[in-house]
Amino acid sequence: MGQESAQRSSGKTRPENSEGRVVLDVLRGKTVFPPPVWMMRQAGRYLPEYRETRKRAGGFLDLCYNPDFAVEVTLQPIRRFGFDASILFSDILVVPHALGRGLRFEEGRGPLMTPIRAEEIDRLDGEMFHVNLSPVYETVRRLRVQLPAGTTLIGFCGAPWTVATYMIAGHGTPDQAPARHFFYRHPEEMKRLLRQLADWSAAYLIRQMEAGADAVQIFDSWAGMLDEEGFAACCIEPVARIVSQVKAAHPDVPVIAFPKGAGSRYDGFRQATGADALGLDWTVPLSQAKRLQKEGAVQGNLDPQRLVAGGKALSDGVASILSGLGDGPLVFNLGHGITPETPVAHVEQMLAAIRGARQP
């Protein structure tokens, strides 16, 4: 599936955007202080109302694929905290699942897939792709109606490399050795897999935009596991392929790229991929983040463990980011997802510190 077919994936146009969504302003390069804020995994197990909804839904995929439940958990952190952006509740692995790959979630083990073999890559079945993902699109449509007018709605997908790591190993691994080995042993097959995932992911994001998403984020959670050659082939090229197709269809929709663990390779990543904004993990020094911010918006990058700790560690972390990045386009966020053991009171402390801050 190539760029042209991705653009023609639905034949629908985007709903007209409402004004006043401050996250969109920042993603397009405007400086706002205090900066807007949201959190990766803001709908999650740290919230008692999420745990209750998850219990009623049954399995995790039931939660993702039932618009009633998915809308409810997406709205919960907005009701409680009034974040400036809401991110669609789903999972990065719905894309290979929609392409016919087996997927289940086990408590304590996370996602489990049937490992893909090199000879199976050209047999991925996209015939029912959008039908399989229709509950996700319905969730986005409902959210656009139910969210406050000033709240930016962010859609997302997993980056092809990160999605491929689960498809190849069949489960999460600490260093993604199975996927790296696959790339070295089967480079052409890996490139074909990444191209297919990029094309289908672009089509998926375009449908989310047409359903009402104001911006989208591409999560490359395992980008930091790659060497220089692998990073270029497995991270940059597929993400650039997605961005190109998305921008051809909807040039006005900002794209956030989050290559977690990229380190020095964050430099030049925006130009190489065409992303509008960079999501920064907590290991990125503020001096580097400041350089990156001169090229456009950055997002991040509070260590999630500071949020768990609370108190002075949290206050100092927030103050440091606001002082270092507050005079440029910044969307305040964590450097990765919020962890389940985070106290709700610490989220409240973080928000009070951000919203009560004075211009640096």
User: Which residue in 21, 41, 207, 265 is the catalytic one?
Assistant: 41
Angle at 258 between CA 296 and CA 152, to 5 degrees: 70
Asked whether 94 and 64 are in contact (CB, 8 A), the reply is yes
Distance of alpha carbon 283 from alpha carbon 179, whole angstroms = 24
CA distances from 95 to 42, 86, 100, 183, 350 (A): 21, 21, 9, 20, 33
Separation between Cα atoms, residue 307 and residue 196, nearest integer Å: 37
Q: Which residue has the higher pLDDT, 18 or 86?
A: 86
Q: Is 54 a catalytic residue?
A: yes
Pick the catalytic residue: 137, 166, 204, 266? 166
- Answer whether the bond into residue 360 is a cis peptide, omega within 30°: no
CA diameter of the chain? 58
Which of these, 212, 234, 213, lies nearest to 223 by C-alpha position?
234
Q: What is the DSSP string of 229-296?
A: HHIIIIIIHHHHHHHHHHHHH-TTS-EEEEETT-GGGGTTHHHHH--SEEE--TTS-HHHHHHHHTTS
Interacting residues of 229 by C-beta distance below 8 A, sequence separation 6+ = none
Residues 146-149: contacts with CB within 8 Å, 24+ apart? 146/71, 146/75, 147/75, 147/78, 147/86, 148/78, 149/18, 149/20
**pLDDT mean across residues, the chain:** 94
The runs of H, that is alpha helices, within 12-120 are 22-27, 48-57, 60-65, 67-81, 94-98
Smallest CA-to-CA distance from 200 within 189, 192, 211, 210 is with: 192
pLDDT digits (tens, 9 = 90+) for 262-293: 999 999 999 999 999 999 999 999 999 999 99
32-58 residue pLDDT tens:
999 999 999 999 999 999 999 999 998
pLDDT of residue 6: 42
Q: Is 45 a catalytic residue?
A: yes
Bridge partners, residue 217, by sequence: 156, 256
Question: Which one of the listed residues 25, 46, 50, 54 is annotated catalytic?
Answer: 54
Catalytic residue among 14, 28, 45, 195: 45
Residue 237 CB partners (closer than 8 Å, separation 6+) = 194
Per-residue pLDDT at 3 exceeds 50? no
Q: In the structure, what pLDDT confidence band is assigned to residue 107 with cuts at 50, 70 and 90?
A: confident
Edge-to-edge order in the sheet of strand 255-259: 85-87, 152-158, 215-220, 255-259, 277-279, 298-302, 330-334
108 confidence band (pLDDT: 50, 70, 90): confident
Nearest of 145, 133, 141 to residue 210 by alpha carbon = 141
Query: Cα(first)–Cα(last) distance of the chain, in Å?
Result: 48
Q: How does strand 110-113 pair with strand 103-106?
A: antiparallel
**Does the pLDDT of residue 167 top 80, yes or no?**
yes
Query: Mean pLDDT, to the nearest integer, of 252-266?
Result: 98
Angle at alpha carbon of residue 41, lines to 40 and 47, rounded to 5°: 130
Fold classification of 20-355 (topology level):
TIM Barrel (3.20.20)
Active site residue 41: yes
State the pTM of this model. Answer: 0.94
What is the average per-residue pLDDT within 16-45? 90
Rounded average pLDDT over 185-206: 98
Query: How far is 19 from 11, CA to CA, in rounded Å?
Result: 25
pLDDT tens per residue, range 320-351: 999 999 999 999 999 999 999 999 999 999 99
Using CA atoms of 224, 225, 228, 230 in order, give the dihedral in degrees to the nearest 10.
-120
